[in-house]
Amino acid sequence: MDKLRKIAEKISSPASEVPFSGELRFDEPMTNHTSFKVGGPADLWIKPSGDTFPETAAKIISLAREDEIPLFILGGGANLVVADAGIRGIVLDCTGWTGCTFAEDRVTIRSGTLIDDAIEEAALRGYGGMEFLAGMPGSYGGAIWMNARCYGSSISDILIETEILDESLRNITVPFHAPDFAYKKSPFQNRDVLILSGTFRLEKKNVSEIRSVMEDHRNDRETKGHYQLPSAGSSFKNNTAFGKPTGKIIDELGLRGLSVGGAKVADWHGNIIVNTGNAAAADIRNLVQKIKSKVKAELGIDLEPEILFVGDWEDQIAVKN
Ligand SMILES: Cc1cc2nc3c(=O)[nH]c(=O)nc-3n(C[C@H](O)[C@H](O)[C@H](O)COP(=O)(O)OP(=O)(O)OC[C@H]3O[C@@H](n4cnc5c(N)ncnc54)[C@H](O)[C@@H]3O)c2cc1C
């Protein structure tokens, strides 16, 4: 903790060469920063804001490295299950780094911008191309990292380039290279980098057409119960080799409604695990293990979780079957 206090002082000191604006707290409950509403405290949570975000982020990362403090990069927290014991070290929250710059048929979006905010701004200018993402929780940084996918398109389909702080903390631009991306895979998953922004291709379109597609997607999500209870969207990845969507596989085994503690397979969708109110992160993890084991035992299929388990999971061993 001493090392963390020193880092916090260095970051927020008025004498710092990079002036800090934003928020910084010790023992910050991650329930406040995850769509699942679970997770214990982050030792030190820092949410820089303002135009000095890249410099501040670089400084935080470099101080953490100097002291060998673990650091986790947080977007909107819409794909995470944070351990009940929390996250050791620093959580660098990117959601204060927001905004879009439009240039003809492209837009550069800062990584902390919420998905819907940029789509709305583009629509106001009569630009579409991103509306397939409408209604998806989370930030652009998380969506690029995850290569988020919905309604038949992946974010990589519209990506032109990504600006990152690379492993040496250089601010560089990585042109889109199709072979580096695949279903729910981006090249950044194998690297220790911070995504600063993404530049995306837009199409000039009729505003009412854009709005109607956005509304259709939002309504569809609403009807499918996406926002009914806290969740992180799909719990498991799809895989064409399974021959059917993962949700259907889980449905057909009668696992809708299966629960562990406060975590439950949604009554309305086999591939969504929900927090019914008082779920512990361990309940979600145990339920995931239970589903995996049943699907493996019945069908020989290995389901791969899409939700990410992060933080301090020591001593929380998943359920035995
Ligand atoms: C109701 C609901 C519906 C959903 N529907 C879909 C869907 O249709 N399709 C889909 O693909 N997903 C869906 N999701 C999951 C989620 O919305 C996406 O995965 C989203 O892209 C996560 O973004 P995030 O900012 O919340 O990332 P987080 O959950 O905060 O982080 C995800 C990963 O990205 C990394 N990361 C985040 N920001 C950065 C950054 N700036 N630099 C480097 N790494 C970073 C994190 O370290 C972490 O490893 C849904 C979730 C919910 C709750």
Q: Tens of pLDDT along 77-117? A: 999 999 999 999 999 999 999 999 999 899 999 999 999 99
pLDDT at 17 over 90: no
pLDDT at 258 over 90: yes
Closest C-alpha residue for ligand 1 atom 37: 142
Closest listed residue to residue 27, CA positions, set 15, 45, 11? 45
Whole-angstrom distance, CA of residue 227 vs CA of residue 223: 9
Confidence grade of residue 1 (pLDDT, cut at 50, 70, 90): confident
Whole-angstrom distance, CA of residue 186 vs CA of residue 41: 28
Distances from the Cα of 226 to the Cα of 37, 137, 265, 271, 275, angstroms: 15, 10, 13, 11, 12
Determine if ligand 1 sits within 6 Å of the CB of residue 136.
Answer: yes
Cα(111) to centroid(ligand 1), Å = 11
Output the pLDDT for position 51: 87
pLDDT at 318 over 60: no
Find the distance separating the first CA and the last CA of the chain, reported in whole Å: 39
User: Looking at the annotation, which residues are catalytic?
Assistant: 234, 306
Give the mean pLDDT of 4-16.
92
Question: Which residue of 136, 166, 221, 306 sits with most ligand 1 atoms within 8 Å of its CB, as the best mutation to test the pocket?
Answer: 136
Q: Do strands 308-310 and 80-82 pair parallel, antiparallel, or not at all (unpaired)?
A: parallel
Q: What is the pLDDT of residues 127-147, one digit of tens each?
A: 999 999 999 999 999 999 999
Q: Do strands 263-265 and 259-260 pair parallel, antiparallel, or not at all (unpaired)?
A: antiparallel
Output the pLDDT for position 317: 46
> Where do the domains of the chain lie, and which CATH numbers do they carry?
2-93 (3.30.43.10), 100-221 (3.30.465.10), 226-310 (3.90.78.10)
Cα(181) to centroid(ligand 1), Å = 16
Output the pLDDT for position 106: 97
Q: Note the residue count of the chain.
A: 321
Residue 155 CA: nearest ligand 1 atom is 11
Beta-carbon contacts of 85 under 8 Å, excluding residues fewer than 6 positions away, are: 40, 311, 312, 313, 314, 315, 316
Determine if ligand 1 sits within 6 Å of the CB of residue 164.
Answer: no
Whole-angstrom distance, CA of residue 82 vs CA of residue 285: 10
Q: What is the largest CA-CA distance in the chain?
A: 62
Q: Could you give the 3-state DSSP secondary structure of residue 47? A: strand
Output the pLDDT for position 319: 40
Output the pLDDT for position 320: 35
Of the candidate ranges 50-54, 84-88, 257-261, the one whose mean pLDDT is the lowest: 50-54
Give the mean pLDDT of 260-287.
97
Angle among Cα 77, 79, 82 to the nearest 5 degrees reads 65
Closest listed residue to residue 174, CA positions, set 153, 155, 154, 197? 197
Output the pLDDT for position 315: 57
Residue 227 CA: nearest ligand 1 atom is 1
Determine if ligand 1 sits within 6 Å of the CB of residue 263.
Answer: no
Determine if ligand 1 sits within 6 Å of the CB of residue 89.
Answer: no
Determine if ligand 1 sits within 6 Å of the CB of residue 229.
Answer: no
Strands (E), the chain: 22-29, 41-48, 71-74, 80-82, 87-93, 100-103, 106-110, 127-128, 149-150, 153-154, 159-165, 171-175, 194-201, 203-204, 231-234, 259-260, 263-265, 272-275, 308-310
pLDDT at 75 over 50: yes
Q: Are the beta carbons of 199 and 106 closer than 8 angstroms?
A: yes
Give the dihedral sign, CA 309/141/165/196. negative
Give the mean pLDDT of 155-170.
98
